[in-house]
Chain A
Amino acid sequence: MKYVDEFRDGTLARALAQRIAEAVQPDRRYRFMEFCGGHTHALSRYGLVDLLPKSIRMIHGPGCPVCVLPIGRIDMAIDLVLKHNVLLCAYGDTLRVPASQGMSLLKARAQQQGGEVRMVYATTDALQIARDNPDRQVVFFAIGFETTTPPTAFAVLQAQAEGLSNFSVLCAHVLTPPAMSALLDSGTELDGIVGPAHVSIVIGSSAYRPIAERYRIPIVISGFEPLDLMQSILMLIRQVNDGRAEIENEFTRTVSRDGNLKAQDTIARVFEFRESFEWRGLGSIAHSALRIRPEFSVFDAEQRFALPYRLVADNKACECPAILRGQKSPEACKIFGTVCTPDNPIGSCMVSSEGACAAHYQYGRHRQEVVS
């Protein structure tokens, strides 16, 4: 497949692995966080850990959209379905995130009462469903980082232009740079960060400059393909060795310094900052999420259905908070692989294959020691 196979070439991977092995200094340890779930998934799916020297430790970050969704937000979506009888459209992974009282959107869908839950691939699907069902309230459950935000903004503008009065958005969009800062403030010790791929297409590489300068940490923006990741890891190693803390861009084929200005403009037209937002694992972070501007409030499901947000505590045994901060690895969690599995997730990190726990369960358990 063109533009894909080139970035998954085994021979080039082995050559890069060789260069990485030569670049690491014997007396040093390298703790790198891949911020994005897309990178976590790629590392696991391609077995890249096997190609890296032991002195490099990859720590999974919180950049998995469904992992950072707090229980209270999922509860709001479930309330929309069960109490307000709406037709809720959501991205696939969102459906399995555990909510209060053992519920999830999948379980809400299976119930006889209430509205309906449909999986969509794009906001345009949700708009079409709203057009096709003029007598029903259709709500799009908007989650994700800056990657998925522009399409949501577009959907709101489109709904306004068409006068689509039965369409609204339950917005849980979050922002990458504040989360990265919060993570570094929380005491996670890192030597470098593999920066987001798709998020950076929208916000540009310059968005991370304040972080690199304030925390003196190297950041390399990386594509999601395995060779992108290996090249980025090599670039991080060189920065560490040289004592540099710069923003470097490995993903130059799509990421520019200033990002996609049109997308940024669309986001700014429709959304504004929330004063603070509760993240699963990272707690409350100021100006880290978006809500729909008052001039578009008719398309804001929170307003239309007067939905309150309630803070719900995570399951006590679940180590997702520490795992999302990179302070624990999945197998260090007592319930990993026993009570908490992808078929019956307790914590959100076990839901999406971009989540640290699910990626490890699905792809990496063979590396664990056999316990007899």
Chain B
Amino acid sequence: MSVKPDYSRPLDLRHGVVEMAHGAGGRAMQQLITELFARHLGNEFLQQGNDGAVLPAPTCGQRLVMSTDGHVITPLFFPGGDIGSLAVHGTINDVAVMGARPLYLSASFILEEGLPLADLARIVESMARAATAAGVPVVTGDTKVVERGKGDGVFIATTGMGTLPDGLDLGGARARPGDAVLISGSIGDHGIAVMSQREHLRFDSPIVSDSAALHELVAAMLATGADIRCLRDPTRGGLAATLNEIAHQSGVGLLIDEADIPLKPAVAGACELLGLDPLNIANEGKLVAIVAAGDVEPVLAAMRAHPLARDSAPIGTVKPDSRHFVQLQTRLGGCRMVDWLNGESLPRIC
């Protein structure tokens, strides 16, 4: 009698859903990993199938940078991206704005029972495309499944690791009075793209998330050799939160000019409609740079030469201010404070 070769029915990626068994440590989990995660995200580290990835130590003169980020977005798919690409871009950017070259990612998936496998496949494929395009592989991962009603489809936590040359410091405490404040493009695109999807708003020209990996842009900026004091990506809380963070960390004030801040008309329109301030809206593919006054030209030129930062603009200056206020010169010629977002971003009613 001949022994039948091992056979298991392939994952039903068209009609199947995530089941508790997919996280239970048995054959079903192994199948999900092999047929979905390893298939798309596969690389030399992941393929070894060990509990962790063994990575080369940084060379002399380099330090390690590590950053982690949990992604819990609703809806999972939005114009310009999805939770998968976002989980890659978000973490790469956190490493990149430290001045580091991102090298590796880890990904931890928390799946909700009932999530269509087709959605999960779409997310993993998108994640793989983003990681490949960025040249930053996912070298280790984890999958857990929670009961229906205890998750929101899928949560993805990613950790990024990169190397930073000795002597380079782009921390938020380095802004000095007189420095210039630059932004790499229009603000609010990501938050409004997601929100318009959530609120079923339609626009003549659809608003697309700016979700993108910024490490090459950062590398191009650093290559100018200019005196860049700090970099930060204005994600949650928007530009307002990032500028307030820098003002507090550096013990300075910031004065920005409303007319200089790039803003797409459709985003401005959506903000009007929803009663929101674009300064508080999240970005996922923009960075703020604080640059020594004399070095603005080369940095701005390098930014504008990069496809992700063509609309870069100087938007303000760093001022001495013991209260660490961020102030905005309005288009009308008045001045107002730009505060952190209060609580949730709740729309005004009339």
Contacts and interface: CB of A to CB of B under 8 A. Distances in A.
Nearest to A43: B334
A198 B336 contact: no
B333 A13 contact: yes
Contacts of A96: 343, 346
Interface string A184-211: 0000000000000010000000000000
A352 B343 CA distance: 11
Given A1-B272, A8-B331, A47 B346 contact: no
A17 to B, nearest CB: 7
Given A1-B268, A1-B269, A121-B199, A49 B346 contact: no
A147 interface: yes
A48 B335 CA distance: 8
B332 A46 contact: yes
Interface in A1-45: 1, 4, 8-10, 13-14, 17, 38, 41, 44-45
A148 B349 CA distance: 9
Contacts of B350: 38, 65, 144-145, 147-148, 198
B272 A4 contact: yes
B265 A50 contact: no
A364 B332 contact: no
B337 interface: yes
A17 B343 contact: no
Interface in B299-336: 322-323, 325, 327-336
B339 interface: yes
B21 interface: no
Contacts of B168: none
B342 interface: yes
A41 B349 CA distance: 12
B196 to A, nearest CB: 12
B348 interface: yes
B347 interface: yes
B204 to A, nearest CB: 12
Interface stretch (A87-95, A244-252, A314-322): A87-95
Nearest to B328: A47
A353 interface: yes
B334 A353 contact: no
Contact of A91 (B329, B342, B349): B349
Contacts of A91: 349
Given A46-B332, A48-B332, A93 B337 contact: no
B199 A343 contact: no
Nearest to A365: B337
A50 B334 contact: yes
B331 A10 contact: yes
B24 interface: no
Q: Which of A1, A4, A65, A343 has the most CB of B within 10 A?
A: A1
A358 B341 CA distance: 12
Interface in A315-372: 342-343, 352-354, 358, 361-366, 370
B238 to A, nearest CB: 14
A342 to B, nearest CB: 4
Nearest to A360: B337
Contacts of B331: 8-10, 46
Contacts of A342: 339, 342-343
A46 B343 CA distance: 22
B332 A13 contact: yes
A370 B323 contact: yes
Contacts of B348: 41, 92-93, 352-354
B339 A226 contact: no
B343 A365 contact: no
Contacts of B335: 47, 50, 366
B336 A364 contact: yes
A119 interface: yes
B259 interface: yes
A10 B325 CA distance: 24
Interface of B: 199, 259, 265, 268-269, 272, 274-275, 277, 322-323, 325, 327-337, 339, 342-344, 346-350
22 contacts: A1-B265, A14-B333, A17-B333, A38-B350, A41-B348, A45-B330, A46-B336, A47-B330, A50-B333, A92-B346, A93-B348, A226-B332, A354-B348, A358-B342, A361-B339, A363-B337, A364-B336, A366-B335, A366-B336, A366-B337, A370-B322, A370-B323
